[in-house]
Structure 1
Amino acid sequence: MKPSTKTDYSAGTRLFHACLALAVLSQLVSSQFMQVPREGRPGNWVFEVHEYSGLFAMTMALGLWIVVITRIGGTDMGLLLPWFSAARRAAFWADTKRHWKIARTFRLPTYRQDSPFAAAIHGLGLLLITAMAATGTLYWLAGVAGYQDRLAVSLAIDLHGFMANLVWAYLIGHAGMALIHHFTGGQTLRVMWSTSPPTSVKEPSK
Structure 2
Amino acid sequence: MAASHNPEYSLKTRLVHMLIAIAVIVQLATSLVMKAHPQDGTEDVFFEVHEYSGLISFAVICAFWVIILFRQRGTTLAELFPWFSTRHRKELIEAVKARFRNTDKTGRLSFYDGDPFAKAVHGLGIAIISVMAMTGVTYFVALKLGADEGILASGAMLIHEPVSKLAWAYLVAHAGIAVFHALLKERPLSVMWNISPWAQKK
2:26 corresponds to which residue? 26
| TM-score, normalisation: structure 2 | 0.89
| CA shift for structure 1 position 39 | 6.3
1:127 corresponds to which residue? 127
Indicate the larger mover: 167-176 or 71-80: 71-80
| CA shift for structure 1 position 40 | 5.5
Counterpart CA distance in 2 for 1:190 and 1:178 is 10
Indicate the larger mover: 150-159 or 54-63: 150-159
Deviations 1:151-184 (A, max 9, x none): 2321211211111110000000100111011011
For 1:144, give the aligned amino acid: K
2:116 corresponds to which residue? 116
For 1:135, give the aligned amino acid: T
2:172 corresponds to which residue? 172
The answer to whether residue 41 in structure 2 is matched with residue 53 in structure 1 is: no
Q: In the TM superposition, what are the counterparts of 1:11-160 in structure 2 within 5 Å?
A: 11-37=11-37, 41-103=41-103, 106-112=107-113, 114-160=114-160
Q: Measured at CA, do residues 189 and 38 of structure 1 come closer, stay the same or move farther in structure 2, by a change above 3 Å? A: same
Equivalent pairs, count: 198
| CA shift for structure 1 position 37 | 1.2
Of the three residues 184, 197, 200, the one matched with 1:198 is 200
**Secondary structure of 1:36's aligned partner:** coil
- After superposition, the CA RMSD in angstroms is 2.1
| CA shift for structure 1 position 5 | 5.5
For 2:200, give the aligned amino acid: P
Q: Which has the higher contact order (CA 8 A, sep 6+)?
A: 2
Q: Give 5+ residue unaligned stretches, structure 2.
A: none
Q: Measured at CA, do residues 2 and 23 of structure 1 come closer, stay the same or move farther in structure 2, by a change above 3 Å? A: closer
For 1:30, give the aligned amino acid: T
Counterpart CA distance in 2 for 1:91 and 1:156 is 35
Q: Give 5+ residue unaligned stretches, structure 1.
A: 200-206
| TM-score, normalisation: structure 1 | 0.88
**Secondary structure of 1:60's aligned partner:** helix
